[in-house]
Amino acid sequence: MTAVSAFFYRKPKLRLGFLLSAPLLWLGLAYLGALAALFVTAFWHTDAFTGQVVVEWSLDNFKTLFTDAVYRTITFRTVGIAALVTVIDAVVAFPMAYAMAKLASPRAQRILVIAVMTPLWASYLVKAYAWRSMLSGNGALSWLSPGYGVTATIITLSYLWLPYMILPIYAGLDRLPDSLVDASGDLGARSLRTFRSVILPLTFPAIVAGSIFTFSLSLGDYIAVKIVGGTSQMLGNVVYDNIGAANNLPFAATVATVPVVIMLVYLAAVRRTGALDNL
């Protein structure tokens, strides 16, 4: 035992290799491998009669995705909804996070963090279901949305992901020294000017960090859409329907590459803001 321990102590590289081996095998091989396989499958197709996957390379699935008006509409609708949900959440979350981080006492801060965090973990499905009944014809909030559809989807998704925006912004504001805000005031800046020139630039990475979650979660959602979306579909629904009812896994894979590419482009674009260190 002692000899093994001493051997490992003298070889930090070996220790690092040991520590990394299992997580890397799991995530690197299993997860990245699965993602790579998904991308490969997107170029295959299914046999029209047997429904079996045929390993034959073609760009047909991508051609359908880009040329078929239905899928184009759904893609634009999905990205639009995800962007709008992100903006709504950022606008709603910022004042809430600001009150938590800058106005509340340390004791109240702890309580408020728990108060915001707890619903984040409460069942996703239950929350979506609650919105379905609240937005229904005789529901308490039916005036918010004309029946089920895009508006109801945006409201529900904004509600579901709001805590994901509040918490990173809260953490960002918590790190922002009060003295900077005070200094700006001492130099004669009014509240709005201080917000625009001091607070916003310094908390921007935190907002972007929050947006990664609100945007990504909205891009891939299909359950909330099924519950409150009425007839309007999002990309997730197309993926789901092609795996289940249509049994066309290759096409589902093709459609699923769209949110992946969008997210990877988004992650690459926001890397320089330092948002990824705020996750």
Minimal distance in Å, beta carbon 240 to another protein?
Answer: 7
Binder of another protein out of 105, 122, 179, 201 (CB under 8 A): 122
Q: Is 203 an interacting residue with respect to another protein (CB under 8 A)?
A: no
Q: Is 162 an interacting residue with respect to another protein (CB under 8 A)?
A: yes
Q: Is 50 an interacting residue with respect to another protein (CB under 8 A)?
A: no
Nearer to another protein, 109 or 232 (CB): 109
Q: Is 174 an interacting residue with respect to another protein (CB under 8 A)?
A: yes
Contacts of 276 (CB under 8 A, 6+ apart): 209, 267, 270
Nearer to another protein, 38 or 202 (CB): 38
Binder of another protein out of 28, 51, 80, 146 (CB under 8 A): 28
Which of helix, strand or coil describes residue 45? strand
Minimal distance in Å, beta carbon 73 to another protein?
Answer: 19
Number of chain positions touching another protein (CB under 8 A): 97
Q: Is 96 an interacting residue with respect to another protein (CB under 8 A)?
A: yes
